[in-house]
Chain A
Amino acid sequence: MFDYTKQIDENQNISKYWRKNPKSIEKYQFVHHFLPKPDKRKRADFLENKAILIYCILILVVTAVFRTIPKVAPGVLGYASDINVADLLKYTNKKREENGVPSLRLNDKLSAAAQKKAKDMFEDGYWAHVAPDGTEPWDFIVGENYEYIYAGENLAKNFSTSKEVVEAWFKSPSHKSNLIGVNYDEVGFAVVNGVMDGYETTLVVQMFGKPRQPSMLASVGEEVVNMGRNAVSASETETASNGGESEVRSETSVSEQPVGAESAISEPIPSGSPANSFIDVTLATKTISLVVGGFVVSLLLIDILYSRKKGIRKFTGLTLAHLAILLVVIISIWLVFRPGLIV
């Protein structure tokens, strides 16, 4: 026989417990949003279509804010980097060695020319091999009294490390032709920090050359490849006659797109120094993406495990498929994507 008195006592005890512990109700209500709804046969509130829509809007808003900040406050956002000449030379020569090409010697004149080119890009606000006023890479090289037979240029920006810069150049056929070009004996580098397009960034200029011997003719081949924002190298071949001498130049270029007029320049700053007070946009966007993706993945995992435990069957799409596709996103962003990718 059912004991109603006992049941009533139990209910009263439960009521008393909840009255005495209002915090427990709040906790229960909070956790409730993360768990599937057996009565409605639906997922957790935070996995409802409306919630997913809010996450999408949130990402769009953050993207818009990150696009607007550099226009309102240039230099607040930037690309942190740890690039130096010694490593650039090391990785360049390593690639040449791997491809059976002799190593390059570091040349001070080419480095000075690269430094002037980088400064010129920041001051005139452009990101290309040829300046808006028509100044070519060769003008910087000749300006340093470097007499060449062959010359070339690679550009890069927004990268984190020297290795990534060289790796990206190597992956691009036009840049690679400069990087492991047999015509070059010497190389010069410039690594310069500054504000370009509103973002604090590091420009890398690599200039190649083969010094002219008195008995030899000079030649130049030029190639321009629009690689977008992050790396530059070109090679359009052109032979020019100049007073009986024929010249062949080889230039590598990253992008032809002009950069916003607002730009400032500073001396190279080591990564992690107090002067690097900008927000690293690469790290920030990556973190936001991983946090939002990770949050949804966690909820999907809870949904799968809780539904299995409680035997809940829901009228929704395949949770496992959502989980799989989001895990792919997280793995790709975490392990594959690198800052300073070639556009």
Chain B
Amino acid sequence: MQNSYSPESFRVVHPLQDKPESKCESEGLGPIEMTAGARISLRVLRCYLLLMSGMLLYHVLDLAAALHRLR
């Protein structure tokens, strides 16, 4: 229904009281299409996460003083 118009008045409906709209449906679409941009972005993200995990591992080992023992 949304906000309807007649020549003399406007009806304003709260979204929660309005009829549901049909939205962009994702069901049946499956995974996102891997365009070159999407592929590169996800690859960069993986590298970033690996780097962060490496730093985290180093930090944990450092805190546990394991690195000092190795040195």
Q: Do the two chains bind?
A: no
- B: residues with CB less than 8 A from A are none
Give A contacts to B, CB under 8 Å. Answer: none
